[in-house]
Structure 1
Amino acid sequence: MKKTLVTLLASGLLSIAVQAQTLQEGINNLYAGRIKNAISVFEKLLAVNPNNIEAIYWLGQTKLETDEIMGARLKDVRSIYEKALQATNGAPLIKVGMGHIDLLTNKSEDARQHFESALTMTRTKKGDDPVISTAIGRAITDTKNGDFAYAIRLLEDAASKDPKNTETLLQLGNAYRKARPGEGGGLAFQTYKKAIEINSGFVGPYLRLAKLFESQKNWELYLQYLNDGVAKDPKFTAAYYELFYYYFFRAQFAEAENFLTKYIDSKLPETDIQDQFLYAQLCWAKKDFSCAISKAEIVYVAMGDVTKPKVFRLLADAYFQKGDFDNAKKYSDLFFLKKNPDDYISGDHKIRADILSKTGGTTDEIFVNYLQGSVLDTLLSSKIDFLKQGAEFLKARGDSISRVREGDLRLEIVKLKGDKVGQRDFFDAGFAYYQGKNYEKADSIFDVFTEKYPDEVYGPMMQYNIHRALDSTMEKGMAVPWAEKYLNILEKDTAKNKKTIIGVASYLASYHANIVKDKEKALEYLRKMLVLDPTNEIIKNNISVLEKAPATKPPSPSKGGATPAPAKTGNPKPSAKTTIKKEIPIKT
């Protein structure tokens, strides 16, 4: 009997040891970036004991790290924790897991209640349970706008009670970084280093140290800590992933491919068809678009309806680069049909606009893509730069509809810049409308321009040209006030502006000679022209013809006409209307 009891006890202790080791194996896989392996470990544990609280908690934490759409991840993990709460009668660690999901779904009050309940249930005379405090700290530091000061208090307390707990130290380092961006790096560095000193085989702190120095663009130390982590764990998947992209973005493709191979091998025996997408990216970066298409389509064939949108993005661009615009359109359509809100950027609308321009897309469709893309950028400068790209794209198309839509995008830039808007911003918007023959919008913009910059020549210049277009026969005299104002500015530098002065004066001479029949005013402008070009026989001849013509004078308002209003700041709208009886040709 005694021998049997000893055997049973030994067997039980061995089972507990194996389970603990396996749980730690899953956690190590998680921090090493071997996500599928970690999930497999936790699921095997739960197959033996469905109510293994720690396995349930860490399974949920691991599933949050997959590359599925965030909304799908949150839904999946919430379901896991909700079922576990019922099965375990509200286990405190599972409550913390639920609070974590609450925070990630902006339910901060629900999260607070779950955290406080878990702390209360596990609190002893020695204070809060360090395991629960650490889990809460982990949850808070995983958010963008959590109460990081509270997380630090909990984690510092937990570290004081269990100073060799490397999970606690890792989360405390994360909390320092989140609480004091740009300032907390020193404390975070010390805390990560302390975790490594306690357990050099725990790779989580190596990655965090590398990311810390990445944020400082200290690439030497970034690489050092990744390589140190690989030395401790030759299957450090997350480190190989970082190293792949480090060389990928520097166009060092041989090194990138080397680390991509190591990344894939580090996850064995687990395999992932998505790794072919990384090869597709590598081919794309090398401009081997046939290879990129081949690799990406392998993923599409294997994944079918659950293919990730990023695969369609790459296929759309690769086909576009090859000049196969129909297939580019096909995959662009699929991307936008299934786009992932967590991986959806303004550049997606740029390539969409490019594809539409080659496949019969309308100007309005292209315009809308640039407008929608600008909304996705969070930085004001990025929004403006993207809108400028769209404006230049539409400008290059050249047709009047495209130029009007160019004006619409440039007007958005004016609105975004607010008080910092400049002369060029107004001018480019107004000029685009002018080139698109939308003279009303051009007029309204240059009204504002002229009011804001009354001493600049460009306002009167454009208003003169706009109103000439609106009143091509001169009958309404709409351009006259602007021509006079423009001429006054031009005459400040007759040497520089000689040609333009002669052109504007010629317009005014023609108007006064032929529309309002004011011979003397017409001669005044012709003589201005002659002063600048005294040997011009055409101008001399015009003066001679006009001097010999019968005397004329402008019609009075009482006889059905009105002289044009004088030029003024703002938006003058002359109302002169006269009847043409006989025109005197004005030539230059």
Structure 2
Amino acid sequence: MTKIKTGLVAVVMLMSNLVFAQSVQEGKKFLYYERYQSAIDALEKALASKPGDPEAIYWLAQAYRENGDVPKATETLRKGMEGANGSNPLLLAGMGQMELAEGKTNDARQRFETAISLTKGKDINVLNAIGKANLEKSGDAAYAIEKLNQATLIKGFKEPDVYINLGDAYRKNSDGGGAVSSYQKAVALDPKYAEGEYKVGKVYLTQGSDQKDIFLQHFNKAVEIDPSYAPAYYDLYTYYFSRDVYKSKSFFEKYRAVADKGPALDYEEATLQFASGDFQTAITKADELLAKQGETADPRLYRLKGYSYDKLNDSVNAIKNLEIFFSKAKEGQIIPENYVTMAMLSAKFPDKQAQVDEFFNKAITSDTAQANKIDYVRKASDFFKKVGNQPKAAEWMSKVLVVNPNPGKVDIYNAGFENFKAQNYATADSIFKMYSDKYPNEVYGYYWKMRSLMLIDSTMEKGLAVPDAEKFISIAETDKVKNKSTLITAYGYLAGYNANIKKDFPKAIEYLDKIIEIDPTNPDAPKNKEILQKANKGAAQSGSAPKTSPGQSQPKSGSVNQ
């Protein structure tokens, strides 16, 4: 009888362990699909069935963290590490992650090193957890890469998730090539691992819309190999949101079928009204959800209302709702473009002018893609040009040269020209010097350096613009028709400089003849030439070069507005 009872107990325990293992695996699977509430439910059930289990504690904390609740994740780990679990390596790695989320980098590193020491650096799961932990904002990407690569060398390694975290670490370290390679290795290890295809698409997505064929291919490939992979459906839905409302709705329906139900999904459904252009209905739907769901409502509903009011030209309610959104938004819900919208709205209110620069700067610092940073700087400059604030337009256009380590000719030219228009002539001169140094065979750098220095040295006494004028002419004369007006400005300047400063009348006359050659109808050049010819004749007769009197006509250097 005792033997039978013992056997029954063993069977019950075996079944209990099986249920527990299934719950943990189910929770991890939900995390993979980014179904965080379902993951929490499954892992809470697993932990309830086997209290104190390190794996269940770690993954439940991960579910809370992914759902944006760092305090709850930390508390789960703290309680789980009481007693015998105090030095569990996996939990040490998990707690280190939460400390990184709170900016406690030294404490976190100590926990990681302890976990590695306890496992002698040979536990794949622990190394993977440490690598993942360092994906946090204050984490060390290089350290993550080191530990994750170490995990892949351990005998028996076959975890595609390690390659995913490795790819994320490379992305954090601004190494797109390393990221793509790692994600591809995850798929090579498991051809059904949709996250690998999806993450490759995410890399190309950050490189701008000109890479759309590539990132859309990978997003579609992800749902092809795993029709339940919600994140890829979500990105396809959001990509088409402002481009093709019908496609967007189609992908949303597929996303809704595999996503967790709740406030977040309700918010996404409400945004489709916005995509359809029915802004008033979007506001009404958002108000209904806010009233019904209260504190559990998705804060992004306020953003939806703000954008909808903006489309309806109601700036007062637009900025009011966006301010509420910024105050309530959860981690990851604010995107850089939201700051740009707030900057432009703030400019409409006299008491919010100081926020304009603040929000444009937040957009730049919060975006990881360099192309997007450059785009925001350009948007800021264009915005200030439209509102007639030329000094701010110049200031922002100059920032392109800081944000972009290798600016092209258009950005350098625009930065220089905006500063010229803002009468920042010294800055314009230095920027156009950058242009002429980088593109020495083009006329623009020399011409606008000349123009800037003409205004800095307005009396021509120092002759600051002479070298650039001469260099400009040497290039521009290869096409006198195309460069006619700018050549007249340069010829005029050098004629004036040689006549009034150097008293070299023959040289000045040469430049006036060049003006007459390309512009026979020029009203000033012949008159000035006649004056100089008389002055030169008189100088020859007297044996000295006479100084022009204050009232005497002088050669014109050309209008600075040419």
Could you tell me the TM-score, scaled by structure 1's length? Answer: 0.68
Q: Name the structure 2 match of 1:258.
A: 253
Aligned 8 A contact 1:394 1:405 in 2: no
- Cα distance in 1 for partners of 2:298, 2:488 equals 65
Aligned 8 A contact 1:519 1:551 in 2: no
Q: Name the structure 2 match of 1:24.
A: 22
The alignment partner of 1:142 has SS state of helix
The letter for the 2-side match of 1:113 is T
1:324 pairs with 293, 311, 314, which one?
314
- Cα distance in 2 for partners of 1:585, 1:150 equals 76
Q: Name the structure 1 match of 2:156.
A: 156
- Cα distance in 2 for partners of 1:407, 1:184 equals 37
Q: Number of paired residues?
A: 503
- Cα distance in 1 for partners of 2:460, 2:341 equals 48
- Cα distance in 1 for partners of 2:150, 2:437 equals 54
State whether structure 2 residue 40 is matched by structure 1 residue 36. no
Displacement of 1:90: 2.4
Q: Name the structure 2 match of 1:272.
A: 262
- Cα distance in 2 for partners of 1:317, 1:79 equals 37
The alignment partner of 2:339 has SS state of helix
- Going from structure 1 to structure 2, the CA distance change for 1:189 and 1:542 (only over 3 Å counts) comes to closer
Aligned 8 A contact 2:498 2:504 in 1: yes
Q: Name the structure 1 match of 2:466.
A: 481
The alignment partner of 2:84 has SS state of coil
- Cα distance in 1 for partners of 2:522, 2:225 equals 80
1:139 pairs with 126, 129, 134, which one?
129
Q: Name the structure 2 match of 1:79.
A: 75
1:437 pairs with 408, 412, 423, which one?
423
Q: CA RMSD in A?
A: 4.7
State whether structure 2 residue 337 is matched by structure 1 residue 347. yes
- Going from structure 1 to structure 2, the CA distance change for 1:382 and 1:37 (only over 3 Å counts) comes to closer
- 1:451-470 equivalent positions in 2, closer than 5 A: 456-470=442-456
Displacement of 1:212: 7.5
Aligned 8 A contact 2:47 2:56 in 1: yes
State whether structure 2 residue 392 is matched by structure 1 residue 402. yes
- Cα distance in 2 for partners of 1:429, 1:186 equals 40
The letter for the 2-side match of 1:481 is V
Structure 2 residue ranges without an equivalent (≥5): 136-143, 167-177, 203-213
The alignment partner of 2:452 has SS state of helix
Q: Name the structure 2 match of 1:64.
A: 65
Q: Identify the range of structure 1 (182-191 vs 276-285) with the bigger mean alpha-carbon deviation.
A: 182-191
- Cα distance in 2 for partners of 1:209, 1:546 equals 78
- Going from structure 1 to structure 2, the CA distance change for 1:137 and 1:408 (only over 3 Å counts) comes to closer
- Going from structure 1 to structure 2, the CA distance change for 1:350 and 1:512 (only over 3 Å counts) comes to same
The letter for the 2-side match of 1:329 is I
Aligned 8 A contact 2:384 2:390 in 1: no
Displacement of 1:461: 2.0
Calculate percent identity across the aligned residue pairs: 22
The letter for the 2-side match of 1:84 is G
Displacement of 1:496: 4.5
Q: Deviations over 1:34-79 (max 9, x none)?
A: 543443455456668755666544433432332x1xxx42x42232
The letter for the 1-side match of 2:420 is Y
The letter for the 2-side match of 1:374 is I
State whether structure 2 residue 169 is matched by structure 1 residue 173. no
- Going from structure 1 to structure 2, the CA distance change for 1:448 and 1:176 (only over 3 Å counts) comes to closer
Displacement of 1:495: 4.7
Q: Deviations over 1:192-231 (max 9, x none)?
A: 47xxxxxxxxxxx66557648867845665333323xx5x
- Cα distance in 2 for partners of 1:188, 1:483 equals 57
- Going from structure 1 to structure 2, the CA distance change for 1:440 and 1:65 (only over 3 Å counts) comes to closer
- Going from structure 1 to structure 2, the CA distance change for 1:515 and 1:336 (only over 3 Å counts) comes to farther
Q: Deviations over 1:415-459 (max 9, x none)?
A: x42xx4555443322211101111222233334545666654334
Structure 1 residue ranges without an equivalent (≥5): 121-127, 158-168, 194-204, 231-238, 564-577
The alignment partner of 1:64 has SS state of helix
- Cα distance in 2 for partners of 1:225, 1:155 equals 28
Aligned 8 A contact 2:433 2:446 in 1: no
The alignment partner of 2:156 has SS state of helix
Q: Deviations over 1:291-321 (max 9, x none)?
A: 4334444454566677666444444333323
- Cα distance in 2 for partners of 1:350, 1:492 equals 45
- Going from structure 1 to structure 2, the CA distance change for 1:189 and 1:495 (only over 3 Å counts) comes to closer
Q: Name the structure 1 match of 2:205.
A: none
The letter for the 1-side match of 2:223 is L
Displacement of 1:27: 3.9
- Going from structure 1 to structure 2, the CA distance change for 1:282 and 1:15 (only over 3 Å counts) comes to farther
Q: Deviations over 1:72-100 (max 9, x none)?
A: 42x422322222222x42277x5422323
The alignment partner of 2:429 has SS state of helix
Higher-RCO chain (CA-CA 8 Å, sequence separation at least 6): 1
Could you tell me the TM-score, scaled by structure 2's length? Answer: 0.70
- Cα distance in 2 for partners of 1:332, 1:478 equals 55
Q: Deviations over 1:518-576 (max 9, x none)?
A: 7666545444444445576765455556656796669xxxx9x9x9xxxxxxxxxxxxx
- Going from structure 1 to structure 2, the CA distance change for 1:154 and 1:516 (only over 3 Å counts) comes to closer
Aligned 8 A contact 1:353 1:370 in 2: yes
Aligned 8 A contact 1:26 1:41 in 2: yes
Q: Name the structure 1 match of 2:552.
A: 582
The alignment partner of 1:274 has SS state of helix
- Going from structure 1 to structure 2, the CA distance change for 1:185 and 1:510 (only over 3 Å counts) comes to closer
Aligned 8 A contact 2:27 2:43 in 1: no
The letter for the 2-side match of 1:387 is V
The alignment partner of 1:253 has SS state of helix
The letter for the 2-side match of 1:148 is L
- Cα distance in 2 for partners of 1:584, 1:212 equals 69
- Going from structure 1 to structure 2, the CA distance change for 1:585 and 1:301 (only over 3 Å counts) comes to same
State whether structure 2 residue 95 is matched by structure 1 residue 97. no
- Going from structure 1 to structure 2, the CA distance change for 1:543 and 1:288 (only over 3 Å counts) comes to same
Q: Identify the range of structure 1 (530-539 vs 344-353) with the bigger mean alpha-carbon deviation.
A: 530-539
Aligned 8 A contact 1:243 1:259 in 2: yes
- Cα distance in 1 for partners of 2:152, 2:469 equals 71
Displacement of 1:493: 4.5
Aligned 8 A contact 1:279 1:295 in 2: no
